[in-house]
Amino acid sequence: MRKLATSMTALATLFIATQAQAEDVEVLHWWTSGGEAAALNVLKGDLESQGIGWQDMPVAGGGGTQAMTVLRARVTAGNPPTAVQMLGFDILDWAKEGALADLNILAGMEGWDAVVPEALQQFAKHDGKWVSAPVNVHSTNWVWANKAVLDELGIAVPTTWDEFVAALEAVKASGKTAIAHGGQAWQDATVFDAVVMSTGGLDFYKSAFIDLDEDALGSDTMKEAFDRMGVIRSYVDDNFSGRDWNLATAMVINGDAAFQMMGDWAKGEFLNAGKVPDQDFLCFRFPGTQEQVTFNADQFAMFAQGPEVGKEQAALATAILSPSFQSAFNVVKGSVPARTDVSNEAFDACGKKGMADLKAAAASGNLVGSMAHGHANPASVKNAIYDVVTAHFNGEYDSAAAVDELVTAVQINK
């Protein structure tokens, strides 16, 4: 009885808190491209309409590596931002340090348990408590194509690795760039997610990246995956090094290149440029991964400011989890909702495919966390894998050496 009374009081306090005039939120994020900024404006607008101000703290760099470095510095200085865009294992790492606010009362009031997919809850909860608010579900095993370029060259959507290589060859022969790519470690790793899944299949991907099994990491299949990365490298243009991902997407949008392998945040760039799926561009799963989804979910973790979650933090979390926001935001962002009860009506063809793929993969056990985007292993391991993949992509190692380096790097960092 006493316990019930206490939690009722806590509930009432929280309710009053969320209704009361809230403070500004300071949000650390890495949504700096045109499409990402358009999506972020949906969230800013939502909060501003509730009288909550937005202090922007953008730190560019896909995958969030730089953002996480800035975050560490802010926390060390005793001045964490109110809310932080975060991925997978990073959320759990901060929760273990006791740095995150407890969102359990709010989550209970709003019934998050019943609507957020289990795969996301694994990263949104620590010790049974909600510690972050899931914004979306992205996935990395996509290919984006310029439809006019493919039509002109008579290229059908490739469904196998061999068909894909034949398509790349045909584009190269036409004088265009076959693959638009940005040579940054996280982008190389994003491609590697799909290549490893396609080369070895679901169980191999899990053994290598989730279980960090040495036999899988050191196998001939892994060597084959590195060989395929070498093939991909031979179809990128000479200026790929250091290029931002959205500039690579622009090459496909403009018809300078045929394909980009990138997560579905790339769709946000096409939409922001006024392009329409199936008319101007195509989205399809990386050949050989049609049944699988390598996912990453953006979440906002709230840094604890005291014993109670802040009013503005609660308001932000409520806004993020609302079904109307989940639809409006994800339609623009290129991702799909982090709730299972949101209609696909407002989504375009790629969004509808993304939602259907996610549902099917979750039901069949083909849904697995993205290594490149922090959903397969902690940052220390992820960054060690990044280093090897990038060094190989830039010709520092051949495939056999890359496999050996991968085994050692994971061993040291796990």
List contacts with ligand BGC (CB under 6 A).
Answer: 30, 36, 62-64, 87, 138, 265, 296, 298, 373
Which pair of structure tokens corresponds to residue 305?
A: 């400011």
Which pair of structure tokens corresponds to residue 86?
A: 């975060």
What distances in angstroms separate CA 10 from CA 4, 131, 306, 316, 401, one per listed residue? Answer: 10, 17, 14, 19, 57
Shortest separation between residue 31's beta carbon and ligand BGC, angstroms: 6
Please state, as a whole number, how many other Cβ atoms lie within 10 Å of the Cβ of residue 254.
Answer: 11
Shortest separation between residue 260's beta carbon and ligand BGC, angstroms: 13
Shortest separation between residue 83's beta carbon and ligand BGC, angstroms: 15
The nearer residue to ligand BGC, 163 or 244, going by C-beta atoms, is 244
Shortest separation between residue 390's beta carbon and ligand BGC, angstroms: 16
242: three-class secondary structure by DSSP? coil
The nearer residue to ligand BGC, 63 or 200, going by C-beta atoms, is 63
What is the C-alpha radius of gyration for the chain, rounded to an integer number of angstroms?
A: 21
**Contact predicate 177/251, CB 8 Å:** yes
Shortest separation between residue 373's beta carbon and ligand BGC, angstroms: 5
Kind of pairing, strands 25-29 and 367-369? unpaired
The nearer residue to ligand BGC, 36 or 348, going by C-beta atoms, is 36
The nearer residue to ligand BGC, 18 or 33, going by C-beta atoms, is 33
The nearer residue to ligand BGC, 189 or 229, going by C-beta atoms, is 189
Q: How many CA atoms lie within 13 A of 27 on its CB side?
A: 25
Shortest separation between residue 351's beta carbon and ligand BGC, angstroms: 15
Task: Please provide residue 54's backbone torsions phi and psi, each rounded to the nearest 5 degrees.
Answer: -125, 120
Shortest separation between residue 63's beta carbon and ligand BGC, angstroms: 5
CA–CA dist 308, 294 (Å, integer): 35
CA–CA dist 340, 343 (Å, integer): 9
Nearest to 82 by CA among 48, 117, 56, 44: 56
Shortest separation between residue 334's beta carbon and ligand BGC, angstroms: 8
Task: Please provide residue 408's backbone torsions phi and psi, each rounded to the nearest 5 degrees.
Answer: -65, -45
Vertex 384, ends 380 and 389: CA angle to 5°?
A: 145
Which pair of structure tokens corresponds to residue 115?
A: 């609507």
The nearer residue to ligand BGC, 186 or 393, going by C-beta atoms, is 186
Which pair of structure tokens corresponds to residue 264?
A: 């579905």
Q: Is the dihedral of CA 376, 379, 381, 384 positive or negative?
A: positive
The DSSP element (H or E) to which 246 belongs, if any, is helix 245-253
The DSSP element (H or E) to which 260 belongs, if any, is strand 257-261
Shortest separation between residue 176's beta carbon and ligand BGC, angstroms: 25
The nearer residue to ligand BGC, 58 or 201, going by C-beta atoms, is 58
Residues near 409 by Cβ (< 8 Å), separated by ≥ 6? 384, 385, 387, 388
The nearer residue to ligand BGC, 30 or 235, going by C-beta atoms, is 30
Shortest separation between residue 296's beta carbon and ligand BGC, angstroms: 5
The nearer residue to ligand BGC, 186 or 303, going by C-beta atoms, is 186
The nearer residue to ligand BGC, 62 or 158, going by C-beta atoms, is 62
